[in-house]
């Protein structure tokens, strides 16, 4: 049975700024860009949130609420590029990682979590590792992509959704946890449906007549009744071979065998293309999260 881990970065862009410019640590600031002649907030630091500042607000209005608010201009494409780099780094945890715009990374953790001592320890390691790099993250693991996404953002205190329990995990969450269009969310709110449990058991045909195709499709994906795909990131190295192990390699002999096998496979490719090898990097991803390499 597949298992998916959703990693949410609620302060991705502003925490990236703090990593690069430590003088902004602890200061309320925002990132903004010009949209239709006005400066609009794209990202908000943790310290600015209590002031009522939110993404999508006009900068001038925010300044009226909180005159001391600092502003930096957003860089187009920064979030996507940053998430791709983070997803590639997550290959430490699984070969299957994907960018999950606008603020997350999705992992297919099937067959990987036992290397960290189980799913709870796996999630804990991910959170601690990103925290050590200065990023706030919320994580969740579930049978489906959509249910993991929903729990990570709306109920991360119960991050481990047991197999087959995604329906129960979704019931008390708001409809926004299904990533629905704003028009559908407004209609559900008007009807008093404040939780997914208010409509999750309705026949798809009824939901389709009242709300169109999107709502029953999102429910089916979250429950695992309909396929949902992720586009995996691939490291940019044009010549790379990877050897995954079901169990940790714990001896020098095992490492030597793995290295020999990888080199043989790589050399076969190079020979077929009439190329040679002058420089090679060998990386070992350890179960404690460290990466060792030789070249």
Domain range list for the chain? 12-79, 252-294
Q: pLDDT band for position 237 (50/70/90)?
A: low
Mean pLDDT confidence for 60-75: 94
Q: Give the pLDDT confidence of 4-27 residue by residue, as tens digits.
A: 999 999 999 999 999 999 999 999
What percent of the chain is predicted at pLDDT more than 90?
Answer: 74
Phi/psi at 14 (5° precision): -70, -35
Mean pLDDT confidence for 33-46: 95
Q: What is the dihedral of CA 5, 161, 197, 179, to 10 degrees?
A: 0
Mean pLDDT of the chain: 92
Element (H, E) at 259: helix 252-272
- Report helix angle 182-190 to 204-211, nearest 10: 100
More confident residue, 289 or 123: 123
How many alpha carbons lie under 13 Å from residue 251 in its C-beta half-sphere? 3
β-strands 138-142, 4-8 pairing: antiparallel
Instruction: List, in order, residues 6 or more apart from 19 with CB less than 8 Å away.
Output: 133, 134
Q: Are 156 and 140 in contact (CB under 8 A)?
A: yes
Provide the 10 A C-beta neighbour count for residue 53.
Answer: 22
Residue whose tokens read 């490492």: 255
Q: What is the pLDDT of residue 272?
A: 81
Mean pLDDT confidence for 194-201: 97
Q: What is the pLDDT of residue 236?
A: 63
Mean pLDDT confidence for 174-201: 97
| Burial environment of residue 134 by CB neighbours within 10 A (0 to 12, 13 to 18, 19 or more) | middle
Least confident piece of the model among 12-26, 103-117, 183-197, 256-270:
256-270
Q: Does domain 12-79 have CATH number 3.30.310.80?
A: no
Mean pLDDT confidence for 166-183: 97
Q: Has residue 119 got a pLDDT over 70?
A: yes
Q: Has residue 279 got a pLDDT over 70?
A: yes
Q: Are 69 and 48 in contact (CB under 8 A)?
A: yes
Q: pLDDT band for position 245 (50/70/90)?
A: confident
Gyration radius of the chain's alpha carbons: 22
Q: Tokens representing 60? A: 């001038």
């Amino acid at each position: 049975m597949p298992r998916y881990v959703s990693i949410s970065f609620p302060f991705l862009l502003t925490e990236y700024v703090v990593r690069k410019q430590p003088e902004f640590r602890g200061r309320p600031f925002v990132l903004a860009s010009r949209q239709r002649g006005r400066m609009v907030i794209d990202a908000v630091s943790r310290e600015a949130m209590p002031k009522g500042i939110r993404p999508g607000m006009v900068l001038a209005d925010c300044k009226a609420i909180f005159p001391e608010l600092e502003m930096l201009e957003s860089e187009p494409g920064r979030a996507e590029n940053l998430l791709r780099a983070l997803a590639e780094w997550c290959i430490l945890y699984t070969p299957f990682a994907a960018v999950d715009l606008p603020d997350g990374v999705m992992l297919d953790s099937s067959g990987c979590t036992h290397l960290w001592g189980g799913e709870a320890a796996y999630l804990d390691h991910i959170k601690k590792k990103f925290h050590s790099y200065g990023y706030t993250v919320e994580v969740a693991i579930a049978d489906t992509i959509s249910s993991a996404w929903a729990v990570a953002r709306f109920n991360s205190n119960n991050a481990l959704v047991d197999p087959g329990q995604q329906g129960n995990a979704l019931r008390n969450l708001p409809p926004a946890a299904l990533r629905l269009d704003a028009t559908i969310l407004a209609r559900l709110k008007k009807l008093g449906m404040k939780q997914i449990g208010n409509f999750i058991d309705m026949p798809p045909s009824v939901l389709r007549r009242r709300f169109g195709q999107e709502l029953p499709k999102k429910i089916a994906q979250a429950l695992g009744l309909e396929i949902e795909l992720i586009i995996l990131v691939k490291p940019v190295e044009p010549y790379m071979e990877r050897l995954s192990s079901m169990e940790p390699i714990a001896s020098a002999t095992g490492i030597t065998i793995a290295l020999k096998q990888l080199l043989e496979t790589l050399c076969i490719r190079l020979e077929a293309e009439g190329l040679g090898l002058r420089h090679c990097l060998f990386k070992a991803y350890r179960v404690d999260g460290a990466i060792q390499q030789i070249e």
